Amino acid sequence: MTDATAEGGAGHGGAGQGSLLARDTRTARRNAAESRFKLYGLIAVCIGIAMLVLLLTSILMNGLSSFQQTRLQIMVELPEDKLDKSGVRDPEVMSKVTTFGYAPLLRDGLEATIAEAGIETDLSAKDAADLISDESVAQLRNMVLANPDLVGQTIPVEVLASGRIDGYYKGRVTMASAELDSNISPEQLVLADQLKAAGKLSTSFNWSFFTAPDASDTRPEAAGLGVAILGSLYMMLIVLCLALPIGVAASIYLEEFAPQNRWTDLIEVNISNLAAVPSIVFGILGLAIFINFAGLPQSAPIVGGLVLTLMTLPTIIIATRAALKAVPPSIRDAALGLGASKMQSVFHHVLPLAMPGILTGTIIGLAQALGETAPLLLIGMVAFVREYPESPLDGGLFDPATALPVQVYNWTQRSDPAFVERASGAIITLLLFLLVMNLTAIFLRRKFERRW
Amino acid sequence: MSINKATVSALAIVAVTATAAAARDQVQVAGSSTVLPYASIVAEAFGENFDFPTPVVESGGSSAGLKRFCEGVGENTIDIANASRAIRDSEVEACAAAGVTDIIEVRIGYDGIVFASQQDGPAFTEFTPSHWYMALAAQIPGEDGTLADNRVANWSEVDESLPDAEILAFIPGTKHGTREVFEEKVILQGCEDTGAMERMMSGGMDEDAVEEACMSIRADGASVDIDGDYTETLARIESNANGVGVFGLAFYENNTDKLKVATMEGVTPSTETISSGEYPVSRPLYFYIKKAHIGAIPGLKEFAEFFVSDDIAGPDGPLSEYGLVADPELAETQATVSEETPMQ
């Protein structure tokens, strides 16, 4: 401010040049440089946004359809002589009939449904049955075993349509591609259209995408994120319960109590260093220590959680120390001056004020851990897991599970093109989780942060 | 205070961790990514039909799987290793050194390797091993057996029956088991068929050197190693009209709307032609069971028996439907599993 007035004053004293109203060449150059810089900045931001938009559109274009699912409504007869010869309706005995025994029932059921709807088709019963997902046999068997009294009745069942039929209603499969496809024929698509017209086939929201477990390569339509979401949740729980207290305790000690000497410097350098170590290194460490030495089970969220805790700790420590540093020394001095002990001043005054910063750091650390795949590769979590883990109280942390990013990786490797859609759907789900976490972090900072 | 609560819960977790020695109740499988889809199909059906939990199947490659298999016996080691090749002697020794002695070898069937290109691309419909050798060998011997760099740039230069298109092949990287089969059954065969092998021999090279010279692939960009999986090869084929890729039969059968398959020596690849032996490029797929774990891990033997049962691995089973070539000697394999006969 003072510079400007001084310059202005000097200009007036000069030989008619440097008027505040008429810009001289130097000011013009400076202003031009400034607007150029602003332009560069704007271009940089635009490139960033363009990339993001490109990424998001490609993911959304591929993945949004995974939240919709095509299903068939058919009537299935459950004959006693096939399912329960003994007639005692004992699930134990009835479980002798495997899913292979249920396949003909579904085939007949679909045939009857087609006939009932008055649809004429040249397809054999076997080809028509290709419209139904392989998952349905297990679905039907579980239904019957859960309620043995159904045997002998004809019941309505809603079954998944097979991946190719589902793809047809999502634009992935067309009549032209079906012509070349060995897994589906145009006649089958025509039949699907006829069933749709008769109200036996419909597309609706796909809740099971979030609750169902993974499915094998032959049933992309049944694959869901249930186990992966649970696994990720368990791991985040472990990371939160371990990394937050350890990280905060370490930072409080280092920031408030530790003497400043060569040792604390060394520790500080190491923490910053660890924050930048590639995550796969933590996976190798986890395999060596937690599985091979401590004997913890493979593929279990407990090991994944411990490994991710190690990975997240430096991030939390660095964020916590920054938050503690930001609390003005006057607060500490005032507390100490009123006779509080060092510990009382920290826990009663400094820590509550630093809390928003600590929580923000923790959430960002958790978000980073949530998206991590590499360390899980080595501890057996990149796997095909279909059983839900038990609740954490029943030792569920030791049951096999996968994680969200792992599921994305797994699905991109599958040969059926329907898994491309599933993988993109999983990415969208993962992004939503991350968005919620980061929004929470911003909210906490805005709401509770105090500035001095 | 929240800090106290957090500390208590952390301590609780650590305590639980310390007391955790819970017995594993599900089968653990790891290994070849080629066998993975088959193993997961079987695991899924097994979980549906038996009271045992669904086995956990990991991929990671045959060698990595066998390495973990040979780490030792116990609940923290895997029960089954999938492999797209037979176990090597060195691996059997490593296993024995770690206490894994009785290994049951189970051959589940055969996997065909096919050559395919874009639907709308040039007409790559007929290949022979000689074509591939002439197109991809790093060095080709002249009349007198001296090696000269392979400078062929166009398929039509290799053979007039092939389309006039630049040579661009996407072949599996060296870490894949498929690469070994490709080299041995296609390139080496081609080397022999074209007479190149004979010329090198008469040029004074010894047998090992000849084999090595035959199987070295050019590195000037005409051949691209794909270290990822077939989805990557497919993506490369889709963006390169002239590209020809190496795929597994099962992968091709799931993507017939995008890929056009070529015959090998006039034979179209299919589960039938591979099982009859007419189509030359195929390999057996295996899994290996730790005999010591049978009885200790619930469901292990049942899973293995279910895997090779006629309902699953037979010619009409779900594995065959997915692209596995059923083993004509399946009955013997079933006997091996039920009698738990270890390999010699």
Write the ipTM.
Answer: 0.84
CA A435 to CA A229: how far, in whole Å? 15
Name the residue among A241, A297, A380 with its Cβ closest to that of B10: A241
- Interface with B, mutate which of A181, A216, A398 (most B CBs under 10 A): A216
Please state the rounded mean pLDDT for residues B103-114: 93
Tell me which of B19-23, B157-161, B245-249 is least confident. B19-23
User: Are the beta carbons of B106 and B294 closer than 8 angstroms?
Assistant: no
A132/A136 Cα distance (integer angstroms):
7
Instruction: Write out residues 34-93 of B within 8 Å (CB-CB) of A.
Output: 36-37, 39-41, 43-45, 47-49, 51, 53-54, 56-60, 75-76, 78
Flag whether pLDDT at A4 surpasses 50. no
Confidence (pLDDT) at A68: 92
Rounded to the nearest angstrom, the minimum Cα separation between A182 and chain B is 6
Supply the mean pLDDT for chain A.
89
Which of the pair, A432 or A444, is modelled with greater confidence?
A432
Closest to B176 in 3D by CA, of B98, B263, B283, B300? B283
Report the C-alpha gap between A424 and A334 in whole angstroms.
55
SS3 assignment for chain B: CHHHHHHHHHHHHHHHHHHCCCCCCCCEEEECCCCHHHHHHHHHHHHHHCCCCCCEEECCCHHHHHHHHCCCCCCCCCCEEEECCCCCHHHHHHHHHCCCCCEEEEEEEEEEEEEEEECCCCCCCEECHHHHHHHHECEEECCCCCEEECCCCEHHHHCCCCCCCECCEEEECCCCHHHHHHHHHHHHHHHHHCCHHHHHHHCCCCHHHHHHHHHCECCCCCEEEECCCHHHHHHHHHHCCCCEEEEEHHHHHHCCCCEEECEECCECCCHHHHHCCCCCCEEEEEEEEEHHHECCECCHHHHHHHHCCHHHHCCCCHHHHHCCEECCCHHHHHHHHHHCCCCC
Residues of A in contact with B1 (CB under 8 A): 347
Output the CA angle A385-A391-A394, nearest 5 degrees: 110
Asked if B82 and B55 touch (Cβ cutoff 8 Å), the reply is no
Bridge partner list, A401: none
Structure confidence by residue, pLDDT tens digits, A334-381: 999 999 999 999 999 999 999 999 998 999 999 999 999 899 988 888
For residue range A145-196, list pLDDT tens digits in order.
998 888 888 999 999 999 999 999 998 889 988 888 888 899 999 999 999 9
Nearest CB among A173, A216, A249 relative to B37 is that of A216
Of residues B16, B30, B44, nearest to A215 (C-beta): B44
Task: Assess whether pLDDT exceeds 50 at residue B18.
Answer: no
Evaluate if residue A215 carries a pLDDT over 50: yes
Instruction: Give the percent of chain A with pLDDT over 90.
Output: 63
Mean pLDDT value across residues A73-82: 89
Query: Is the CATH number 1.10.3720.10 carried by domain A226-448?
Result: yes
Q: Do A299 and B56 touch (CB under 8 A)?
A: yes
Substitution target in B49, B227, B233 with the highest count of A β-carbons within 10 Å is B49
Cβ atoms A117, A200 nearer than 8 A? yes
Task: Retrieve residue A31's tokens.
Answer: 């202003």
Task: State yes or no: pLDDT of A31 exceeds 60.
Answer: yes
pLDDT reported for residue B4: 57
Kindly report, residue by residue over B126-167, the tens digit of the pLDDT: 999 999 999 999 888 887 778 888 888 889 988 888 999 999
Model pLDDT for residues A385-425, shown as the tens digit of each residue: 999 999 888 888 999 999 999 999 999 989 888 999 999 99
* Predicted confidence (pLDDT) at residue B3 exceeds the cutoff of 70: no
Say what the pLDDT of residue B132 is. Answer: 93
- Mind listing the pLDDT tens digit for each residue in B36-74? 999 999 999 999 999 999 999 998 888 889 998 998 898
Q: How far is CA A41 from CA A32, A37, A38, A53, in A?
A: 14, 6, 5, 18
Asked whether the beta carbons of B165 and B154 are under 8 A apart, the reply is yes
pLDDT value at residue A389: 92
Kindly identify which residue of chain A lies nearest to residue B1, measuring between CA atoms.
A347
Residue type at B282? S
Residue spans in chain A of domains classed CATH 1.10.3720.10 = 226-448
pLDDT digits 0-9 by tens, A40-57: 999 999 999 999 999 999
What integer pLDDT is reported at residue A57 of this predicted model?
94
CATH 2.60.40.10 describes domain B2-110+284-339: no
For residue A246, what is the nearest residue in chain B, using CA coordinates? B7
Smallest CA–CA separation between B157 and chain A, in Å? 31
Give me chain B's average pLDDT, please: 87
Q: Do B13 and A292 touch (CB under 8 A)?
A: no
Residue range(s) of every CATH 3.40.190.10 domain in chain B: 2-110+284-339, 112-282
Domain at B112-282, CATH from 3.20.20.140, 3.90.1150.10, 3.40.190.10, 2.60.40.3080: 3.40.190.10
Q: Supply the pLDDT for residue A400.
A: 92
Please say whether the beta carbons of B117 and B255 come within 8 A: no
Q: Does B268 touch chain A (CB under 8 A)?
A: no
Residue B13: the pLDDT is 53
Q: Which residues of A touch B75 (CB under 8 A)?
A: 297
pLDDT at B296 over 60: yes
Q: How far is B234 from chain A (nearest CA, A)?
A: 10
- Report the residue from A181, A295, A412 with minimal CB separation from B257: A181
pLDDT at B141: 86
The minimum CA-CA distance between A217 and chain B, rounded to whole Å, is 6
Name the residue in chain B with its Cα closest to that of A98: B49
pLDDT at B160: 87
C-alpha–C-alpha distance, residues A140 and B49, integer Å: 12
Q: Which of B13, B34, B77, B312 has the highest number of chain A CBs within 10 A, making it the mutation to test binding with A?
A: B13
pTM for this model (two decimals): 0.86
The model's pLDDT over B74-106, given as tens digits with 9 standing for 90+, comes to 888 899 999 988 899 999 999 999 999 999 999
A248 contacts B16? CB cut-off 8 A: no
**B13 vs A contacts (CB less than 8 Å):** 238, 241-242, 397
Please, which pLDDT band fits residue B9 given cuts at 50, 70 and 90?
low
